Amino acid sequence: GENVEQHPSTLSVQEGDSAVIKCTYSDSASNYFPWYKQELGKRPQLIIDIRSNVGEKKDQRIAVTLNKTAKHFSLHITETQPEDSAVYFCAATAFGNEKLTFGTGTRLTIIP
């Protein structure tokens, strides 16, 4: 089955700097890669996703890149703000398979 590895497990960055979280997946059939943000005590919420037919997607300060050959994808957050502090999860799934396999999460702390 699919296996998703996520690094780093914790990340601290100065406010205004950029943060990068990386994930690798094992199943070459995976073609959908969402990222979820979970604030303390709250439910995970989708922040951005990418499908395998594109290499990059941006939404304001957030971007995701995908390298299908290397089977890895990354989340980039620019101009970080205190409200970006949360746990971020990457996930992967194959077309037609409703099972989302998640990474173990990255706790991002923005230092004011």
The site for another protein (CB under 8 A) is made up of 6, 9, 31-32, 34, 36, 42-46, 49, 51, 89, 91, 93, 95-105
Report, in Å, the least distance between residue 46 CB and another protein.
5
What does the alpha-carbon distance between residue 29 and residue 61 come to, in Å, rounded to a whole number?
A: 29
CA angle 32, 34, 37 (to 5 degrees): 170
Report, in Å, the least distance between residue 49 CB and another protein.
7
Report, in Å, the least distance between residue 27 CB and another protein.
14
Nearer to another protein (CB atom), residue 32 or residue 72: 32
Nearer to another protein (CB atom), residue 15 or residue 95: 95
Nearer to another protein (CB atom), residue 51 or residue 79: 51
Contact 5, 106 (CB under 8 A): no
Nearer to another protein (CB atom), residue 15 or residue 58: 58
What does the alpha-carbon distance between residue 108 and residue 19 come to, in Å, rounded to a whole number?
A: 8
What does the alpha-carbon distance between residue 76 and residue 66 come to, in Å, rounded to a whole number?
A: 11
Radius of gyration of the chain (CA): 13
